[in-house]
Amino acid sequence: MRCPFCGHGEDRVIDSRASNVGDVIRRRRECESCERRFTTYERVEYTVPAIVKKDGRREPFDRQKIIASMSIALSKRPVSSERIAAIADEIERDLALTDAREIPSAAIGEKVMTRLRELDEVGYVRFASVYRSFRDIGEFAAELGRLAAGESEPVEPRPGAEGAVAQPERSAT
Ligand SMILES: [Zn+2]
């Protein structure tokens, strides 16, 4: 690991511990040249099938979008960012373990809602009320961002959106 202060390439690990949430290893390091200390985080990256948006376009899975939309839904709620990151990890792992070649983006939103329902009711309601009229996590994250910035009125679900909620996906057995 290159030292972020002096650019030196050698360091020694002072301390290494698994995070209590998620598959993350935290390492405390000391540069062998300037002796400054820094921390690195190491996590498994899974290979997730392509995500198919509701308009049919494909895009790579983006863990940060899940984190961003959950963070906004859980804003000022007693849920740590580590917990949110751990949930994103779980969802990523779940998706990587499916046999599907591609995954509808709605399935990701459903997974997030399932986790939120167990975790924090307020966050769940915030997420569900906005998400259900979008059905696409990317669009949803963008809209939540606008709402948070106070740039638009809260969105009413589109007519008929209520009955159009996706069934929880089931993997073929
Ligand atoms: Zn250094």
Chain centroid offset of residue 169 CA: 19
- Mean confidence (pLDDT) of the chain: 81
Pick the range with the lowest mean pLDDT from 56-70, 95-109, 159-173. 159-173
37-to-24, 32, 41, 62, 107 alpha-carbon distances in Å = 19, 10, 14, 30, 42
Per-residue pLDDT at 17: 86
Separation CA 167–CA 30 (nearest Å):
50
Q: Which residue has the tokens 């809209």?
A: 143
pTM score: 0.62
Q: Give the Å distance between the CA of 19 and the centre of ligand 1.
A: 25
Q: What is the pLDDT of residues 120-133, one digit of tens each?
A: 989 998 888 877 77
DSSP 8-state symbol, 3: -
Q: Distance, CA 29 to ligand 1 centroid (Å)?
A: 10
Cα 74 to middle of ligand 1, angstroms: 37
For residue 129, report the distance from its CA to the centre of ligand 1, in Å: 49
Tokens representing residue 40 in the block: 């690195």
**Residue-wise pLDDT tens digits, 138-166:** 666 766 676 677 654 444 444 444 444 44
CB 119 within 8 A of CB 87: yes
Greater confidence (135 vs 156) lies with 135
Query: What is the spatial distance between Cα 85 and Cα 138, in angstroms, rounded to a whole number?
Result: 17
State the Cα–Cα distance between residues 166 and 103, nearest whole angstrom.
13
The pLDDT value recorded for residue 173 is: 46
Give pLDDT tens digits for 2-56. 999 999 999 999 999 877 666 788 999 999 999 999 999 888 878 899 999 888 9
pLDDT value at position 159? 46
User: What is the 3-state composition of the chain as percent helix, strand, coil, each rounded to the nearest 5?
Assistant: 40, 20, 40
List all residues 6 or more positions away from 138 whose beta carbon is below 8 Å from its beta carbon. 53, 59, 62, 65, 105
Phi, psi of 36 (to 5 degrees): -75, 155
Query: How much distance in Å is there from the Cα of 42 to the middle of ligand 1?
Result: 20
Express as a percent the part of the chain with pLDDT over 70: 76
- Provide Rg for the chain, Cα atoms: 19
